[in-house]
């Protein structure tokens, strides 16, 4: 009997050893998961010809860290890898990944009111996302506008569009769009894809036949404005429109919450005003409206919202400006869920609304501009202006300057929000302004030119 017990004990020990070896091998070879502080770690065995970059790239989509460079830094830190990123075959690496993906967070977010910022895609990194999310959570912001196609014509996600690939337009800065959407949706932030349409340097220079034809007798033909690098394509060109519609469809398929069109107009540079676009000036607005209508049919079918940025001066809808740009706000609005007038005080020179030096009168200018637009389209709920959050001079776009613009929007009865524009991504004064507004401190206690301007206008009403 004792011999039998010894045999059982012997084989039992052998079994335990084999089981331990098997489990260890599983952990070493591929992806044995270990729960740590709510997150997961994958154990990865380095193979021959592996490098830290390729390993990080392979697992990036499974991590909550947004950028590849930050993900590499985190792997290096977890595994005490030297700065030269030296790793060796059979080395076991700990890879930080998400514990579990909540697929409900990939569903569309449709906010009725918007409060958010534009962010140049090249400024999109883990640190900037952290800054945005932290401020959004505390200040009640809910929308982030990011370029998916910019004025250079760069396609900033991994496109499969054959023409985009042919002309070298693909620059996939947003390497994992679904990951960006997931991270934003966790904080109830909608991702709005900004797509520039007819200002497209890459397409213009690779397909010159699709560009405006400058008349030989043009007064601007020999001026410094005419450069070797063409920046605009012809809005009336069928091929150009088709290309942009295909890009829009592809961007929608990535899962974004809204499409925002920009440069959906004819150019206004002096040397292009009398160029040949193959259509009479009086019909330019028909070209633009019909294109917007085509996009609207696509977004309606996909169940997402469509908006468009309105060229600053066009918000006033003077007949000549409508003819030059083709942006007839009344006809366009029929096919838009929102419009974003870009009424930046510093961009207007001379006299408007019987006032000059408007760059120093942000409250007056924004309020007058928005009120004029309200009178034109009579659909307040669609008007969500872009406000100036950048500075052309030292006095512009400080906290008080930004607050004056927000107050102007509120005081003319627009209740559906506003967006902020700073191409460099410097939104510190904006966060401060939003914090003050949230705490119902409308302006600083100290007198400023902007506060005086606002109070004078109100007292005179």
Last residue of a domain, one of 56, 72, 103: 103
Give dist(CA 267, CA 200) in Å, integer.
11
**333 and 300 part of one domain:** yes
Confidence of residue 44 (pLDDT cuts 50, 70, 90): very high
**25 and 149 part of one domain:** no
Q: Count up the domains in the chain and report the number.
A: 2
pLDDT at 35 over 70: no
**98 and 128 part of one domain:** no
The per-residue pLDDT for range 363-388, each reduced to its tens digit, is 988 998 899 899 998 789 999 999 99
The per-residue pLDDT for range 75-94, each reduced to its tens digit, is 999 999 998 889 999 999 99
The per-residue pLDDT for range 129-188, each reduced to its tens digit, is 999 999 999 999 999 999 999 999 999 999 999 999 999 999 999 999 999 999 999 999
Mean pLDDT score of the chain: 85
**121 and 267 part of one domain:** yes
Q: Which residue has the tokens 């899962």?
A: 255
In terms of pLDDT, which residue wins out, 215 or 412? 412
Give dist(CA 364, CA 355) in Å, integer.
9
**57 and 116 part of one domain:** no
Structural domain for 373, as ranges? 106-459
Supply the CATH number for residue 384's domain: 3.20.20.80
**94 and 145 part of one domain:** no
**233 and 165 part of one domain:** yes
Give dist(CA 155, CA 193) in Å, integer.
12
Supply the CATH number for residue 57's domain: 3.10.350.10
Among the residue ranges 10-19, 107-116, 268-277, 405-414, the one predicted with the least confidence is 10-19
- Give the global pTM: 0.84
Last residue of a domain, one of 103, 128, 147: 103
**138 and 74 part of one domain:** no
**395 and 419 part of one domain:** yes
Contacts of 143 (CB under 8 A, 6+ apart): 111, 114, 115, 116, 189, 190, 192, 258, 419
Last residue of a domain, one of 62, 83, 103: 103
**98 and 244 part of one domain:** no
**58 and 119 part of one domain:** no
**115 and 99 part of one domain:** no
From its phi and psi, is residue 38 left (phi > 0), alpha (psi between -120 and 50) or beta? left
Confidence of residue 32 (pLDDT cuts 50, 70, 90): very low
């Amino acid at each position: 009997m004792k011999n039998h017990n010894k045999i059982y004990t012997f084989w039992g020990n052998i079994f335990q050893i084999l089981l331990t070896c098997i489990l260890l091998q599983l952990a070493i070879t591929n992806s044995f998961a270990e729960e740590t502080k709510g997150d997961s770690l994958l154990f990865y065995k380095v193979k021959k010809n592996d490098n830290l970059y390729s390993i990080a790239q392979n697992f990036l989509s499974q991590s909550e860290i947004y950028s590849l460079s930050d993900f590499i830094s985190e792997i290096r830190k977890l595994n005490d890898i030297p700065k030269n990123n030296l790793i060796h075959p059979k080395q076991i690496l700990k890879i930080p990944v998400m514990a579990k993906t909540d697929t409900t967070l990939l569903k569309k977010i449709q906010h009725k009111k918007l409060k958010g910022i534009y962010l140049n895609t090249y400024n999109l990194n883990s640190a900037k996302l952290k800054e945005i999310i932290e401020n959004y959570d505390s200040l009640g912001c809910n929308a982030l506008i990011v370029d998916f196609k910019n004025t250079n014509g760069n396609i900033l996600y991994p496109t499969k569009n054959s023409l985009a690939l042919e002309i070298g337009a693909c620059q996939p800065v947003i390497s994992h769009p679904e990951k960006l959407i997931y991270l934003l949706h966790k904080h109830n932030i909608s991702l709005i894809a900004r797509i520039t349409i007819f200002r497209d340097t890459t397409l213009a220079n690779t397909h010159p036949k699709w560009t405006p034809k400058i008349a030989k007798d043009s007064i601007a033909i020999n001026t410094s404005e005419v450069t070797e690098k063409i920046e605009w394509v012809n809005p009336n060109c069928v091929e150009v429109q088709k290309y942009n519609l295909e890009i829009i469809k592809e961007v929608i398929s990535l899962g974004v919450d809204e499409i925002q069109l920009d440069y959906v107009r004819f150019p206004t540079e002096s040397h292009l005003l009398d160029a040949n676009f193959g259509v009479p000036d009086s019909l330019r607005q028909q070209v633009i409206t019909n294109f917007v209508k085509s996009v609207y049919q696509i977004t309606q079918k996909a169940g997402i919202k469509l908006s468009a940025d309105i060229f600053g001066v066009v918000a006033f809808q003077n007949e000549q400006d409508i003819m030059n740009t083709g942006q007839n706000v009344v006809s366009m609005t029929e096919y838009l869920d929102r419009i974003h007038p870009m009424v930046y005080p510093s961009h207007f020179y001379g006299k408007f609304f019987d006032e000059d030096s408007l760059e120093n009168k942000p409250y007056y200018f924004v309020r007058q501009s928005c009120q004029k637009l309200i009178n034109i389209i009579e659909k307040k709920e669609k008007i969500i202006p872009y406000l100036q959050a950048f500075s052309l001079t030292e006095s512009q776009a400080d906290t008080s300057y930004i607050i004056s613009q927000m107050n102007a929007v509120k005081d003319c009865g627009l209740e559906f929000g506003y967006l902020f524009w700073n191409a460099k991504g410097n939104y510190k004064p904006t966060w401060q302004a939003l914090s003050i507004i949230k705490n119902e401190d409308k302006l600083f206690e100290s007198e400023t030119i902007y506060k005086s301007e606002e109070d004078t206008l109100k007292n005179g009403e």
